[in-house]
Amino acid sequence: MSERLARAALTRLTEPGDVRMAGLVADLGAEVVYEHLRNERDLGGVLTEVASRLRGLDPARDLDDASRQGIRFVVPGDPEWPPSLADLETAEPLNRRGGAPIGLWVRGRLRVDEACARSVAVVGSRSATSYGAGVAGALAAEVAREGVAVVSGAAFGIDQAAHRGALAARGPTVAVLACGPERAYPAAHKQLLDYIAEEGVVVSELPPGCAPTRLRFLSRNRLIAALSTGTVVVEAAVRSGALNTANWATRLHRVLMGVPGPVTSAPSEGVHELIRSGKAALVTEGRHVLELASPAGSFTLGHQRGETRPLDGLEEQELRVLDALPVVHGVSVASLARTAALGEAAVRESLTILRDAGLAEAVDGVWRIGKAHAS
C-alpha cells in the first residue's frame, strides 16, 4: 500500500487535529501506522477508537470517487503541499488539538502551495455588522489585488465578505472547510463555494462526505492560521471562534492584525482586546496588512503625514511676528517689535520672510497679515 493511500485512509479514520495520530504518523510513517491498525495493533488506544471505522474502508475507491468529483488529495512530498504547514508539527497544541494535517482534500483551480506562498487570513465573527463586512471586503480586495491570497473559512459574516472582496478584485482566495471539500456548509454558501472552487481553491483535512462538527471547526482554524503569513481579525466578540484562529496565529509566530470597530460595538470587543493586550497590530486598510504580512522590506509604507500648511517651516521668531500682525489696519515695525517683544532688526528680517511667503503685506508703509494666511 502506498503512502498516499495510507494517508487517505487515515484521514477517514481519525479526527483532524488529533495530536496522537499526528505524532504516530510523524514517527512511524502513514503506511506503518495504517498497517498496524489493520493488523489490530492497539497503538496506545487509537485502535479502540477507530475500530468501528476500519471496516469497509477502501482508500483506493475513495480517491477514485473524489477525483470524479474534481477533488484531489495532496500529501507531504507532493509539489502542491504547502511548506508552511510544517510549522504545525512543532507548535504546542491548543485545546488538545494540533499537529500537521495528514493530507489535504482539495477542490479548485489554484494550486494550494502557490496560492499560500503569499497569503493573508481574514477572519471574524459570523454575527458581523455591515461595518465589519464592508471593511473586510474592502481590505480583502486591496490585498488580493496585489496577488496575495485571502484565506478564510467561508462562514457567514466576515468570512464570506473577505472571500467576495478577493473575488471582486479578481484575486486569489482559499476557503478552508471543516467538512468534506465538496460540501456546502453553510448551505446558503453553495454558490460562493462553487465560485471559489472555480476561481480559487477549497481545502479541507476531511475527506468527501464528512459533516462539520464543533471540534472540527477548532481544528480547521489552525489550518487557516498556518496556511497564511498573517491573520487579520475583523469583528470578533469576546467568545468568537475567530479568536481561536488568532491564538493559532500567535502560536505559529504569524503576524496577528486587528481592525478596530466603534468602541461601543460588542462585535468588535474581542478585536479591541487583542489590540489592547498588544497581541495584534492595528490595521485599517489593505496597505497596512501588506506591509506587515509581506517579507520584511518588500512592501513598506512611508510615514503618514498631514497636508503641508503655509506655517510649516517657520521659525519661532517669524511665528511671533506673524501672531503680532493685525488683520485689517496695518501697524509700524516699531509697534510690531513691542507686541512681539523682539528687536526691530529681527522684526524686519522676519517680515521679509513672511512677505515672500505671502503671509504679510505692507500697505502704505505699515504691515498687516497677507492673503496667504487665510485660515
What track of x and - describes contact with another protein for positions 158 through 177 (by CB under 8 A)? --x---xx-xxxx-------
Determine if 232 is a binding residue for another protein (CB under 8 A): no
Report the amino acid identity of residue 324.
A
Nearer to another protein, 193 or 226 (CB): 193
- Of 32, 54, 127, 339, the one binding another protein (CB under 8 A) is 127
Determine the Cα–Cα distance for residues 42 and 45; give it in Å rounded to an integer: 6
Q: What is the largest CA-CA distance in the chain?
A: 109
Determine if 183 is a binding residue for another protein (CB under 8 A): no
Determine if 157 is a binding residue for another protein (CB under 8 A): yes
Determine the Cα–Cα distance for residues 260 and 273; give it in Å rounded to an integer: 10
Output the smallest distance, CB 156 to another protein, in A: 6
Determine if 241 is a binding residue for another protein (CB under 8 A): no
Nearer to another protein, 115 or 141 (CB): 141
Determine if 200 is a binding residue for another protein (CB under 8 A): no
Give the residues across from 368 on adjacent strands.
Answer: 361
Give the residues across from 234 on adjacent strands.
Answer: 124, 259
Output the smallest distance, CB 299 to another protein, in A: 20
Give the residues across from 292 on adjacent strands.
Answer: none
Which of these ranges, 136-144, 212-220, 273-281, 334-342, lies near another protein under the rule CB under 8 A? 136-144
Give the residues across from 108 on adjacent strands.
Answer: 201
Determine the Cα–Cα distance for residues 125 and 270; give it in Å rounded to an integer: 10
Contacts of residue 195, defined as CB under 8 A and 6 or more positions apart, other chains included, come to 167
Report the amino acid identity of residue 341.
A
Residue 147: all three cell numbers together: 496577488
- Of 262, 300, 358, 362, the one binding another protein (CB under 8 A) is 262
Determine the Cα–Cα distance for residues 15 and 73; give it in Å rounded to an integer: 17
Determine if 17 is a binding residue for another protein (CB under 8 A): no
3-state DSSP assignment of residue 301: coil
Nearer to another protein, 164 or 251 (CB): 164
Residues that bind another protein (CB under 8 A): 127-134, 137-138, 140-141, 156-157, 160, 164-165, 167-170, 186, 188-189, 191-192, 195, 262, 264-265, 267, 375
